A and B are shown apart, each in its own frame.
Chain A
Amino acid sequence: MKTFVGIDLGSTTTKAVLLDEDEKVLGRGITNSRSNYDTACRVAGQEAAIDARFTLFRREFGAGQGTDEQVEAFLGALERAFRLEQFLEQLGDLEETCLEQVTGERFAKVGDGVKQALAEVFRRLREEAPGMFAPDATRKSDFFRDIAGSRYLAVAEEVAREAGLAYDLLLNVYDKSIIGVENRPPSGGLSEKFKQALERVAKEGAGLAGELLEPVERTLGIELEETYLVGTGYGRVTLPFSKEHIRSEILCHGLGAHMMYPKTRTVLDIGGQDTKGIQVDASGIVENFQMNDRCAAGCGRYLGYIADEMNMGLHELGPLAMKSGKPARINSTCTVFAGAELRDRLALGEKREDILAGLHRAIILRAMSIISRSGGIDDQFTFTGGVAKNEAAVRELKKLVLENYGEVTINIDPDSIYTGALGGAEFARRAAEGRVEGVVA
């Protein structure tokens, strides 16, 4: 079947969206951008293709194959099994790569010991892997580097201690390997992994595995043809795309927001390194936009920096800030100053949640200024980008919108991080139809 791909190469993450001919989303994929957009692009595209398979399964099952709940339970199990297969494959790659690093003078005397230790580390990692993908398991991240990295470090420490080996050696081998592994997208064929996953699910005996096996295999037979691709975002220029395959993120976010919420007139996107205020017309065509220039103050990266400073995960900031009853008043949105501000206030005895709430407010204040420069907020207002996932930021935004613009419908889609890629995919679909917008034909 024909598919249309939109890829948004952001500074932090790379997103891909696959559309079908009816403008319906088939799949979404995301990965960290690393410093390698080429790989990020391939991985995100592959992730979207995997997600698309699940959409196709759902469509295929339609009526007659058990209740919705049973189907969802089966698909849930299948996805976990698939992710596990994928994880094990990359783990295998990591092990091999680590072993290759055990050469040279440094390892002359301890080489064998290190190799044995590595074998033990990876044995344990493989052993615990199924638990990480169990139905009720929560993972801090879906990126291989994050999951495998934190577990490797913990397990290697244990193994090194037990073996009386310097932990440094194992750390060094890992550090040298992880980037290479990360930059190699999983190699095996997707269908192969799906089949292994199916077997695993069947073995575990999840309800419908028997009946659904055949339709799943049939669906896997559908070829996803990449009919047209459009790239957007910061990395777009570094990709081997020709000009017709590139749209600016402004156009893509405008169109993407329009597709999610057709009544959208104003879009706010807060991404990793920029904040955009976009005005669109009734067709999703951009009327005006403003972006932060000269300075990336008040962007997503600001929160990343704060998270590092506070030794917290990025996704933990919002929930903590939500606990604040008395947000601190913070004026600076300078990312670098924020650290100083934070330490100063902590030293003064202010509560972490109050400071965090203040920092979230500061970001949104800056965004409000950018929006007002682009022409203010018109009903409906759609908030997108990674920061739209942060409940504390959303809370401050809602307050400030109400104060400044009155009652406005505020749309936040749980998949808002894919807005740019969605717009890109729609541009791809239109381009394939011969409608070329935003590019001089």
Chain B
Amino acid sequence: MKITTSRTPIKEVVKDASMLKQKEMMAAHYDRLANAKENGEKVASTFVPGNLNELIMCFDLVNNLPEVNAIQSGLRRKSGSYVMEAEKAGHSEDVCTYVKSDIGMMAKGNIGPNGKKLPDPDVLLLSYTGCFTFMKWFELLREQYQCETIFLQTPYMADGKVTPNMIQYMVKQLKEDVIPKLERVSGVKFDIDRLREYLRKSARAEDDLVYILQSAKNKPSPIDAYFGGIYYVGPIFGAFRGTDDAIDFYRFLREEVDQRIAAGLGPVTPDGPMADEKYRLVVEGPPNYTNFRQFWKMFYEEGAVVVASSYSKVGGTYDFGFRHDPDRPLETLAEYCLGVYTNRSLPMRVDMLTNYMNEYEADGLLINSIKSCNSFSAGQLLIMREVEKRTGKPAAFIETDLVDPRYFSAANVKNRLESYFQMVEQKRSGSGKGVAA
């Protein structure tokens, strides 16, 4: 199933078929966005956590995700200049670099990853799910585009559970504010049966996604649930949830994973199939995108595979049973928003990571702390200690940034990671041996 492409002249990058398929899907979506105005389509900008794609599709709106644009800019090594552009415009060095990449990209003509201009949004739909920065980000975009802004407030899961009140509160907002405004902007009347149909499709793809992510419980794990995981969650966290394309993609991916399990193979890395699995890790926090491949390489070269990550839950947490439910269409959207990782309290995050450590039989927890991300970074040291205490497994902390290349110090990160892997190894081989002094 492995197809080798030669994107860079220096070295061939190995991608498996699903990755290529995913890339095609993303490219098609960017083309659709670029041509939206020509094709008479209206555009809704929204965020990955709390992305209400099914609802957006009910109004024939095209989903545009500014964070994903920033990620694309990071992967394409454009974000550095965008960030500087935003700083020139007065944004502080400490502001989220997704925001600055986006603002800088707009200032430089808003050219998307396919080289074509991204459309101005017709509506900004903010489902607020725990990241305060998103609110400020959309205030900036509203200033820029002077378009309709919709704010759906998701109550924070401070007590660790969803109450009927929370759901009622959100459904009320959907009915009285979000849906009427979307109708007005789009000119399309809301049809709840259409929503149900999309939700049904979402659930099917979600089943396969969960299967894929949980395949990492195998030894060796057939997937990398962080670096590879980012490819896997792309479609369902973006504009594809609720579509047939997503169903097809996740079915295809599931088959690919099944083949790897059957063959006893590990994940496919840019340098080909991973050799021996030496360390199984749980990772907390977003990755770095400016040096994504280099960062990944520091793991697979040492035989480290990520078996579970919190980041692959930012656009929805499905592995504890939640599925979009066509029978409770508005309630299910509320529950979805409530459950995304960024909306979970610190104790919930600790529980979740501890659960991953145990369920996936991980050797340790690694935290990648993002310089400019307050939403993720707050409490990470506490999370680390608590998970360490509960599991008795070693944890480590490294620091990088999302899309600001200035904050990725490869030598330092590599040094920390190597130290950490050796520490895991030392604990494994040294504990209980009563090392003499």
Does B165 belong to the interface (CB within 8 Å)? no
Q: Is the CB of B303 within 8 A of A286?
A: no
A156-194 vs B, CB cutoff 8 Å, 1 = contact: the mask equals 000000000000000000000000000000000000000
Q: Beyond A294-B409, A375-B385, is A289–B431 a contact (Cβ under 8 Å)? A: no
Residue pair A284, B435 in contact (C-beta under 8 Å): yes
B381, A248: Cβ atoms under 8 Å? no
Q: Is B419 an interface residue (CB 8 A)?
A: yes
Query: Which residues from A are CB-within-8-Å of B407?
Result: 294
Q: Please determine whether B416 and A291 come into contact, CB atoms closer than 8 angstroms.
A: yes
A364 interface residue per 8 A CB criterion: no
Tell whether, in the assembled complex, residue B419 and residue A248 are in contact, meaning their CB atoms are under 8 Å apart: yes
The 8 Å CB contact of B423, one of A251, A290, A291, is: A251
Contacts of B434 in A (CB 8 A): 283
Measured CB to CB, the nearest residue on chain A to B416 is: A291
Contacts A283-B430, A285-B426, A436-B429: A251 and B397 contacting too (C-beta < 8 A)? no
* Residues of chain B with a CB closer than 8 A to A251's CB: 419, 422-423, 426
Q: Which residue of B303, B371, B399, B419 contacts A249 across the interface (Cβ within 8 Å)?
A: B419
Total B residues in contact with A, Cβ cutoff 8 Å: 33
Tell me which of B54-62, B66-74, B190-198, B388-396 binds A: B388-396
Q: How far is the CB of A271 from chain B (nearest CB, A)?
A: 12
Asked whether any CB of chain B lies closer than 8 Å to the CB of A287, the reply is: yes
| A284–B437 CB distance below 8 A | yes
A258-B437, A283-B434 known; A294 and B426 CB under 8 Å?
no
State whether A283 and B433 are in contact (beta carbons under 8 Å apart), knowing that A248-B422, A437-B425, A440-B278 are contacts in the complex. yes
From the candidates A234, A262, A288, A437, name the one contacting B430 in the complex (CB within 8 A): A437
Contact yes or no, A285 B385, CB < 8 A = no
CB of B108 within 8 A of chain A?
no
The answer to whether B397 and A286 have CB atoms under 8 Å apart is: no
Query: Are A438 and B426 neighbours in the complex by a CB distance under 8 Å?
Result: yes
Inter-subunit contact B397/A438 (CB<8 Å) = no
A438 to B421: give the CA distance in the assembly, Å: 8
Chain B residues, CB < 8 A from A259: 437
B397 touches A285 (CB 8 A): no
Q: Taking the complex as formed, is B168 at the interface, i.e. its CB lies under 8 A from any CB of chain A?
A: no
Q: In this assembly, does B398 line the interface, its C-beta being within 8 Å of a C-beta of chain A?
A: yes
Contact call B423/A289, Cβ cutoff below 8 A: yes
Residues of A within 8 A of B416 (CB): 291, 293
Among B399, B409, B415, B437, max chain A CB count under 10 A is at B437
Complex contacts, B409 vs chain A, CB 8 Å:
293-294
Are A289 and B419 in contact, CB atoms less than 8 angstroms apart? Answer: yes
B437, A288: Cβ atoms closer than 8 Å: no
7 A-B pairs with the lowest CB-CB distances in the bound complex, closest first: A248-B419, A438-B422, A283-B435, A262-B437, A293-B399, A250-B419, A438-B426
Task: A283-B431, A283-B435, A439-B422 given; name 16 further pairs at CB < 8 Å.
Answer: A248-B415, A250-B422, A283-B430, A284-B437, A285-B431, A287-B427, A289-B396, A290-B397, A293-B398, A293-B399, A294-B399, A294-B412, A437-B426, A438-B422, A438-B423, A438-B425
- Which residues of A does B touch, CB under 8 Å? 23, 234, 247-251, 258-259, 262, 281, 283-291, 293-294, 373, 375, 435-440
